[in-house]
Structure 1
């Protein structure tokens, strides 16, 4: 919520001191609990008289508990410090607003409950003085000047109020970050934050804007979400485009996706994730001068995937992870100028898979593996070119009477990247030769 003038001038900040002191005492108490726990629980049980798997499990959990006591102390003391800084900063900025109002009032300007200033210097004039003023040849100029100065006071007050709101948003960000544990230490994500920052000037900084350059790094992010929703579509035949027909239907509970990149010169990181829950089915077929293809498929359940890639010049590595729970079936076949593909699959249950690989100068190789819990079968063979001109070649086979999975391989060839790498190498050789003469 954006603070307005009334919020700022009526805010009571006196409780910040008491609350900050309470958080500080809480942090110190957590430190005492950590010391007592390590001495009277871990220390006693770890005296060597108890051995075995149960002891190992207990000590592992005890270590996590001790760690969280320490993390709780760090978090509480950080919040105490943030509240102290917030009291100082908000008090200073609130006073800047009230000082502006007092200065305006000393110069005969009245400020209303919304922070708007008007000139009140003529309010106490007698009837005779008011009559004389209205007939003064300079009256229009005097009124215009008063209105202009009133607007100036209004703008300055609004600017000061905006500064208070910006500080308030900074405090909100800092407190949210201090209480958010996103590291895998201790018991993992969701515990107390052992890295909580107690300096408001550091912890309250705004998040970097998408595409904004920070140091040598440039970041870009995109995300979208939708659902629930249902829909159908039917198209074709379209003889001009070679499409025999296409039909699709879906009943979505929800879907979401996000992707981002981080680059710094020749080094780049890219990642993405998406998730879907619902049911969908489709069928399509077409014949053009570039080839023929047909496919049909159906799915009901939930699925999610994540992928990441890192590149340094011509060398790159990638990884993908996928998980599916539900039932699906599909067939596809196609042949044309951009490759061939052939495959069929049927599955009911849950499965998860990972892929990993690397490429150098435009030629890559990778492997895929899936674990299945439920009956299913799958076989596929493909060799095709994507929209970026990269060729993908791969095969996959799997069967699961009860509990099994699938394995496969994949190769990629990016002609454009090969040419770029060769050109860079030729340029480097040319520069080296040129340096000799």
Structure 2
């Protein structure tokens, strides 16, 4: 009711101007760049490739004009629709008030007893038939106003879907179809619909939530470090010596509707030796670890809603040894490992609502032994893992393990979603119960 709808026409005028600017660019491009490929002075394979590519570029400039004009048309139509619906809502409110109702700023309708005379107020309080007729009138006017509000909401969703469709390349001229000059599958939309009445009212499920998120690649090194500290009150003693050649991490995520695909790639080369001992506010830590070599991890995940699966590959070549016992807020484990050689591991499992169950397996080349049990937080993915592993290799061997994973963020999302569904169901039951009580009163 308070939105400045005039901003829609202002934006529409801006998009019309943008279409005109694209027209200027297209004309200049055709006369100065594309024209080179249309003469007789350039022939051969390169000329043919240039003709195709330059035509594709000019096609995009023309498609950009169509798309900009379509957006302008949709915004203009949206202004007209919203203005009309707002006027109808205001009229419905005024009619309700003229019929003796009070309408709050939130659109809630009640019977306005302040307008009654003393005799009418007395009759209202003592006449059940009068009260029943008032309830019927209140419900009727409430539905009338709710319908007007619902019409605004539905139009809002229609405009959203229409704008989203207008800026999505239809590719109707790709793959030899139509003009056949569309060679950019995620470019401008040459067939954008600018008439709101003809535009789609809803988005396809796959397009309603489509996004790609790439955290990019982080690379550090070479780097050398040596730090040591003694055990103090409330602080664990530690030492760290490292000579990192490099450490690289890449993350990416792509979403199509309810389907989410994500991956992590982490690789490290260098030598490290660390140790910690002490009791702090976080718990007890006692560990020593040393390794030198090349280490890598690749993990992929596919999730549909709250259900998904994952697979992980890890590799190591070098020398490593460790022993640890930890009891902190992020890890409770006891274990040891030692290997001189190379190993490769694979893990896979299924997940629902942030809780997953999987199996791990490793193949070793070289003497070694390992075992651990407990739960800990993965430093790369941030997911908690509960499980254990045991392995032995006199020369050739391996290890097997079980892991139960827990992602607190996903679990919270699932809990919130479940609570919403319970709340919606309770609200529905409450509404129906209220309707039943009104029916009984009538």
TM-score by length of 1: 0.50
- Residue 23 (structure 1) aligns with: 45
Give the Cα separation in 2 of the matches to 1:17 and 1:233. 69
Give the Cα separation in 1 of the matches to 2:207 and 2:41. 35
- Residue 38 (structure 1) aligns with: none
Contact 1:246 1:285 in 2 (8 A): no
Q: 1:13 deviation in Å? A: 8.8
Contact 1:16 1:87 in 2 (8 A): no
The alignment partner of 1:430 has SS state of helix
- Residue 430 (structure 1) aligns with: 426
- Residue 85 (structure 1) aligns with: 55
Give the Cα separation in 1 of the matches to 2:39 and 2:398. 60
Q: List per-residue Cα deviations over 1:333-371 (Å, max 9, x = no partner).
A: 112455520111111222221111222234321111112
Contact 1:383 1:391 in 2 (8 A): yes
1:285 aligned onto 2:277? yes
Q: 1:17 deviation in Å? A: 7.8
Corresponding residue to 1:401 among 391, 394, 400: 394
Give the Cα separation in 1 of the matches to 2:251 and 2:382. 22
The alignment partner of 2:184 has SS state of helix
1:202 aligned onto 2:184? yes
Give the Cα separation in 1 of the matches to 2:348 and 2:272. 28
C-alpha RMSD over aligned residues: 4.2
Structure 1's 12 and 265: CA in aligned 2 closer, same or farther, altered over 3 A? closer
Contact 2:209 2:258 in 1 (8 A): no
Q: 1:391 deviation in Å? A: 4.8
Gapped runs of 5+ residues in structure 1?
1-7, 26-76, 90-197, 207-212
Contact 1:303 1:322 in 2 (8 A): yes
1:328 aligned onto 2:320? yes
- Residue 236 (structure 1) aligns with: 229
Give the paired residue count.
265
Q: 1:223 deviation in Å? A: 2.6
Contact 2:56 2:181 in 1 (8 A): no
Corresponding residue to 2:260 among 268, 278, 285: 268
1:367 aligned onto 2:379? no
- Residue 132 (structure 2) aligns with: none
The alignment partner of 1:420 has SS state of helix
The alignment partner of 2:55 has SS state of helix
TM-score by length of 2: 0.50
Q: 1:306 deviation in Å? A: 1.1
Contact 2:238 2:274 in 1 (8 A): no
Structure 1's 434 and 362: CA in aligned 2 closer, same or farther, altered over 3 A? farther
Give the Cα separation in 2 of the matches to 1:293 and 1:313. 38
- Residue 338 (structure 2) aligns with: 346
Structure 1's 305 and 12: CA in aligned 2 closer, same or farther, altered over 3 A? same
Q: 1:432 deviation in Å? A: 5.0
- Residue 286 (structure 2) aligns with: 294
- Residue 194 (structure 1) aligns with: none
- Residue 303 (structure 2) aligns with: 311
Corresponding residue to 2:248 among 252, 256, 274: 256
Give the Cα separation in 2 of the matches to 1:199 and 1:300. 55
Q: 1:20 deviation in Å? A: 8.4
The alignment partner of 2:264 has SS state of strand
Give the Cα separation in 2 of the matches to 1:19 and 1:353. 61
- Residue 420 (structure 1) aligns with: 416
Give the Cα separation in 2 of the matches to 1:358 and 1:19. 63
Gapped runs of 5+ residues in structure 2?
1-28, 60-179, 189-205, 434-442
Structure 1's 266 and 226: CA in aligned 2 closer, same or farther, altered over 3 A? closer
Q: 1:424 deviation in Å? A: 3.7
Give the Cα separation in 2 of the matches to 1:20 and 1:341. 72
